[in-house]
Amino acid sequence: MDSQPTADGSNDEIVGEIADLERRLAAAKAKLARPTTIDSTANPPAARVAAGKSPPPPIPNTSSSATHFLLLLADSALPLGSFAFSSGLESYLAHSKAFLAPLPRNSNSSNGSFAAFLPVSVSSYASTTLPFVLAAHRDASSFAFVSGSSPRLARLAALDDALDAAIVCTVGRRASVAQGRALLSIWERSFVGTAPAAGAAEALKPFVALLKSSSSSSSSSSSLGTDLPPPVSAHLAPLFGAICQLVGLSLEQTAYVFMLGHIKALVSAAVRAGMFGPYQAQKTLAGGTVQGLIAAMIEREWDTPVEMAGQRVPVMDLWFGRHEVLYSRIFNS
């Protein structure tokens, strides 16, 4: 794997971050491997020490626990349901066939059109959602577990609400909310008990309560004559930022995993849409293009306030929105 993407001076920091992440990944894998060795030799740790072997690995500290959660959140098996969404790829393919002039760089092969779609999709996804991930992570850090989590709740709910107002496409809203709710379920049912940070267990409870109350009261509020939207919808981006913070991921790691998750879902959708096979998929994921894209997107959106987030690829809104009018669909978006 090429871990040294071509870097100009401005990318050094992120390239360093990537290298650091990979080092930690390797370290974590090594740690995971060690207990297996112990098990296979069936030696209790005391016996190993007595036998003059190296001491057992230390009890997981916060940073190794964070690495553990990093691996879980980056895992394709994380049940977010991402496989159901193609983020406009399916619609793009249908429109390319039916309507659009080929891209200037587009070759005739299907791989060519994926190569053209990937950067615009990543750019569009980053410009519309990444500021919300970053803001939620930063907010969560700044309200570190004060008793009575109302400021935390208010900020997370406000981010969720602002994103709900900014996704102006039915299909995009459906995809974002479905994955956000899935992530919230994973948090509640699976992560919450083992999250390392003190107070983490309580952190999202008010949000969940607000979500439940708003989905049950949505009918009653409309009967009052107001057509105001529910207070929270549970979009993926802000919840991803908040939950990554709660399990100890750094801001950089959070942004990286978020963008990588989008790309992995796209590549996986391309495989299932028959654009290329699994080896080409892994080659794409491992390649310098993907690494360079993620680094550039994180750098571009690092300081973007959520109020200034916006669509950089207008035609993406059209592909996304017009997924509804496809004759045959294998994806939900």
Partner 1 sequence: MESPFPKSSSAPGEGRVVAKLQPEGGSALEALAYQYPLKLISPSRPAHSTKSVLVFLLSYGGGLVGGDSVSLAVDMRPGARLSMVTQGHTKVFAPATATPNLVTRQTMRAHLAPAAALCLLPDPVQPFAASVYEQTQVFRLAPDASLCLLDWVTQGRSARGEDWSFARWTGRNEVWAVTENYHRLLVRDAVILDGAQPSPPHIMPTLRESMHAMGVVGTLILRGPLVKALADFFLAEFAALPRLGSRDFRTDADARRDAAAESVSDLEKWRRTRLLTERSTRLLWSAANVRGCVVVKFGAPTVEAGRLWVGAMLAREGSVARVFGDHALMCVR
The nearer residue to partner 1, 124 or 245, going by C-beta atoms, is 124
Q: Which of 43, 173, 197, 285 binds partner 1 (CB under 8 A)?
A: 173
Residue 154 near residue 295, CB atoms below 8 Å: no
Shortest approach of partner 1 to residue 138 CB, angstroms? 20
For residues 311 and 172, give the distance between their C-alpha atoms in angstroms, rounded to a whole number.
12
Q: Which of 78, 214, 300, 332 binds partner 1 (CB under 8 A)?
A: 300
Shortest approach of partner 1 to residue 313 CB, angstroms? 5
For residues 299 and 255, give the distance between their C-alpha atoms in angstroms, rounded to a whole number.
10
Q: Which of 266, 313, 331, 333 binds partner 1 (CB under 8 A)?
A: 313
Instruction: Give the contact letters, 141-170, x = binds to partner 1 (CB under 8 A), - = no.
Output: --------------------xx-xxxxxxx
The nearer residue to partner 1, 175 or 195, going by C-beta atoms, is 175
Q: Which of 245, 237, 239, 257 is nearest to 17 (CA)?
A: 257
What are the residues whose beta carbons fall under 8 Å from the beta carbon of 328, sequence distance 6 or more? none
Q: Which of 44, 229, 274, 277 binds partner 1 (CB under 8 A)?
A: 229
Which conformational region is residue 87 in: left (phi greater than 0), alpha (psi within -120 to 50 degrees), or beta? left
The nearer residue to partner 1, 169 or 242, going by C-beta atoms, is 169
The nearer residue to partner 1, 103 or 285, going by C-beta atoms, is 103
Binding residues among 96-135 for partner 1 as defined by CB under 8 A: 97-101, 103-105, 116, 119-120, 123, 127
Shortest approach of partner 1 to residue 108 CB, angstroms? 17
DSSP string of 163-187, one letter each residue: HHHH---HHHHHHHHHHHHHHHHHI
Question: Does 260 engage in binding with partner 1 (CB under 8 A)?
Answer: no
| DSSP for residue 105 | T
For residues 173 and 216, give the distance between their C-alpha atoms in angstroms, rounded to a whole number.
19
Question: Does 325 engage in binding with partner 1 (CB under 8 A)?
Answer: yes
Shortest approach of partner 1 to residue 326 CB, angstroms? 5
The nearer residue to partner 1, 169 or 243, going by C-beta atoms, is 169
Which conformational region is residue 102 in: left (phi greater than 0), alpha (psi within -120 to 50 degrees), or beta? beta
Instruction: Give the contact letters, 55-94, x = binds to partner 1 (CB under 8 A), - = no.
Output: ---------------------------------------x
294 Cα distance to chain centroid:
12
For residues 207 and 40, give the distance between their C-alpha atoms in angstroms, rounded to a whole number.
45
Which conformational region is residue 234 in: left (phi greater than 0), alpha (psi within -120 to 50 degrees), or beta? left
Binding residues vs partner 1 (CB under 8 A)? 94-95, 97-101, 103-105, 116, 119-120, 123, 127, 161-162, 164-170, 173, 226-229, 289, 292-293, 295-296, 299-300, 307-315, 317-318, 320-322, 324-328
